[in-house]
Structure 1
Amino acid sequence: MYFTVNDKELDALCGLSYIQQITYLRGIRPYMDRNTYIVGIKRRISYQSLTEVLYIEPHQGITESGSPSRQQIRRAIKGLERSGLISIQSFDKHLILKCLLADISYSVQNKPDTNPTQQADTKPNAKLLVNTGASEDAEVKADTDKILKADTPLIKENNYIYLLQRFDHFWRMYPEKKSRERAFEIFKQINPDELLLQSMLQALAQQIKARTEKEANGEWVPAWKFPANWLSQKCWEDEVKIELTQERRNEKRRANTENTTCDPFWNPETGDTASIDEDECQQSNVINFQCYRQQ
């Protein structure tokens, strides 16, 4: 791993405290993405990782050994932000920094010429270009291409951050938290917009609710799929059904039958066994021996 620090960065570091300078040069700048100037997305960083990077081994004659505290790292990063070297773009407990002065093209384009006289005399008889409409169109097209190329990393950077934010919503809600990196790769392939993300989260909420109700009824439910499988199989499109088992249906029927049963030999008005005539005995499928005794 190698990187170059330009003059702007050195000027901004001049006068800062030792811990601020070493935090930038050892903990932040080596892990910067050269396309987006972002630190903390492709390779995660944290206050804990920065303290480990700045660890000083104990040696004879060195009084201050060990790692700085997390509070010291926080103050150092705040100081770097105030000096204009970085901007803090953290969200949802993820430390994300952007190096504002780390222009790689600046260090190459503004490199001092070692032999400027030879470069000036290389083409002494160069012809002047005629300013025509075609050349103006070419210049405008070239400028447009430069603007688009310059904006492309910013668009990719913002899209990556928004995508990571959407994935964090899904990850916090999903019950089975396994294989986060694999799930995020599938999530990036889907690349859901706000509408699709809302549909996914609503379907997941319904599945969680249905599963909770089945567990409360004592029904067996399968284990949750891995998040990557849930995403790759588009399980948010599955229909959620809540069905009672046969045992639960029998319990309801048994309860209704118990409420409607009655004793044919019991007269509710007299509180005793009542005499029943032959017509009533014939209409019932229950044999009443009291009728025959009275005859």
Structure 2
Amino acid sequence: MYFTVNDKELDALCGLSYLQQITYLRGIRPYMDRKTFMVGIKRGISYQSLSEILYVEPHQGIKDSGSPSRQQIRRAVKGLERAGLIAIQSLDKHLILKCLLADISYCAQNKPNTKPTQEPDTKSNANYSDNSIDSSNNFSKGATENNTKADTPHESDLSCVFLRKAFEKFWQQYPQRRDQLKAWDAFKQVNPDEALFIKILQSLNAQIEHHHKYQAAGLWVPHWKNPANWLAQECWNDELITEVMEIENAKHTTSPKKQSAVELLWDSCKEGADHFDFNFEDNIPSEYSNNIIQFKNDKTA
């Protein structure tokens, strides 16, 4: 692994504690992406991994051996941020840093020339002086262009910042927040632009409202998917299909109330019972009715 530390970084490190200097030089700077100046995106880092990198083996005469604690590493990273060396752009559990003073073009310009060219003796002094003037002009132009490009942010750096901010909005809005690192990887695979990200948020809002509406109506709704699966399966396109299927399932699942055996028997007999009169008060037989046989018990003496 090869990397160069420029004068700006050395000046900023001057006066900091030993732990802060070694954290920057051993744990952060070697793993910086030279295109984006970011640390922790392509190769993940954490306070625990930084602590393991700074492990000191026990030797005779060395008192401070082992690894610094996570709290010490956290304070060292905060100190580097206050010194202007890095900017902390982390997610919840994903440590992401940006090296603010790492200027690759500055290091390339000051790299010594290992293959100096020699001018042949046959050239005239006039030609030599002209070439020297032209080369100095070209160098000044090249230096100006490189310095201008170094000051402007890289396009990939801007895209990474947009992705992180967009993922934070999506993560805060998703109802079931689980496996953030997997969700972040899936979000990077989707790599949405601004238009697609707006569509994702609008679809997610509509699905959340749809979910609450069906729950309030007492209808069955499926559980929320893992956010990584939701992104990988492009579920922001499934809103209308899911709604139609749930409405059809709700229609098929609703059935009339079942009647008991007594209610079924009463319904079958109710029509016939209307033709009969069960009031016996008006049909009491008289005492001398002909159709009643009276029996007398004659007792013999």
Q: TM-score, normalised by structure 2?
A: 0.65
Superposed displacement of residue 160, structure 1: 1.7
Write the deviation string for residues 221-247 of structure 1: whole angstroms up to 9, x where unpaired.
Answer: 488472244327722454525543545
- CA change 1:165–1:204 in 2 (3 A) is farther
- Aligned partners of 1:6, 1:145: CA distance in 2, in Å? 15
The residue aligned with 1:75 is: 75
Query: Residues 62 and 93 (structure 1 numbering): CA distance in 2 closer, same or farther, change over 3 Å?
Result: same
Asked if residue 198 in structure 1 is aligned to residue 204 in structure 2, the reply is no
8 Å CA contact 1:166, 1:197 repeated in 2 = no
After superposition, the Cα gap between the structure-2 partners of 1:222 and 1:69, relative to the gap in structure 1 and judged at 3 Å, is closer
**How many residues align structurally?**
258
Alignment of 1:230-241 (within 5 A): 230-231=233-234, 234-236=237-239, 238=241, 240-241=243-244
3-state secondary structure, aligned to 1:57: coil
Match of 1:32 in 2: 32
1:87 touches 1:99 (CA, 8 Å); kept in 2? Answer: yes
What is the deviation of 1:21? Answer: 0.9
Q: 1:200 to 1:10 in 2, by over 3 A?
A: same
Distance change (3 Å), C-alpha of 1:229 and 1:207: farther
Q: 1:291 to 1:101 in 2, by over 3 A?
A: closer
Residue type at the aligned position of 2:130: A
- From 227, 248, 258, the equivalent of 2:254 is 248
Query: How far is the alpha carbon of 1:70 from its aligned partner?
Result: 2.0
Q: After superposition, give the CA deviation of every residue in 1:76-122 in whole Å (9 maximum; x if it has no partner).
A: 12222233322333354543322122111212212356798968x99
Q: Which moved more, 1:230-239 or 1:19-28?
A: 230-239
Structure 1 position 192, deviation (Å):
4.5
- Distance in 1 between residues matched to 2:8 and 2:146, nearest whole Å: 26
Whole-Å separation in 2 of the counterparts to 1:286 and 1:70: 88
Structure-2 separation of matches of 1:117 and 1:220: 76
Mapping 1:130-149, distance limit 5 Å? none
Query: Match of 1:50?
Result: 50
Runs of 4+ in 1 over 4 A off after TM superposition: 112-119, 143-150, 176-179, 189-194, 210-214, 219-223, 291-295
Closer/same/farther in 2, CA of residues 72 and 157 from structure 1, 3 Å limit:
same
My pick for the range that moved more, 19-28 or 201-210, is 201-210
In the aligned structure 2, how far is the partner of 1:150 from the partner of 1:124? 35
In the alignment, the residues of structure 1 paired with residue 201 and residue 236 of structure 2 have an alpha-carbon distance, to the nearest angstrom, of: 17
Distance in structure 2 (CA, Å) of the matches to 1:116 and 1:79: 43
Give the 3-state SS of the residue equivalent to 2:234 in structure 1: helix
Structure 1: which amino acid aligns with 2:128?
P
Matches of residues 93-108 of structure 1 in structure 2 within 5 Å?
93-108=93-108
Structure 1 residues 108-141: Cα deviation after superposition (integer angstroms, max 9, x where no partner):
212356798968x996153778xxxxxxxxxx9x
2:204–2:236 Cα contact (<8 Å) kept: no
Cα distance change, pair 159–185 in 1 and its aligned pair in 2 (3 A): closer
SS at 2:256 equivalent: helix
Aligned 1:70-219 pairs, distance under 5 A: 70-112=70-112, 124-126=128-130, 151=152, 153=154, 155-171=155-171, 173=174, 175=176, 177=178, 179-180=182-183, 183-189=186-192, 192=195, 195-209=198-212, 212=215, 217=219, 219=220
CA spacing shift, 1:54–1:145, aligned 2, 3 Å: closer
Change (3 A) 1:193 1:234: closer
Gapped runs of 5+ residues in structure 1?
Answer: 130-139, 266-283
Aligned with 2:276 (options 254, 278, 289): 289
Classify 1:204/1:186 alpha carbon distance in 2 versus 1 (closer, same or farther; 3 Å): farther
Distance 1:149 1:80 in 2: 22
Query: Runs of 5+ in structure 2 lacking a partner?
Result: 135-140, 284-301
Task: Say if 2:163 and 2:188, in contact at 8 Å, map to a contact too.
Answer: no
Cα distance change on mapping 1:227 and 1:249 into 2, 3 Å: same
Larger Rg: 2
The Cα of 1:250 is off from its aligned counterpart by: 1.3
Shift of 1:193: 5.2
Q: Matched residues, percent identical?
A: 44
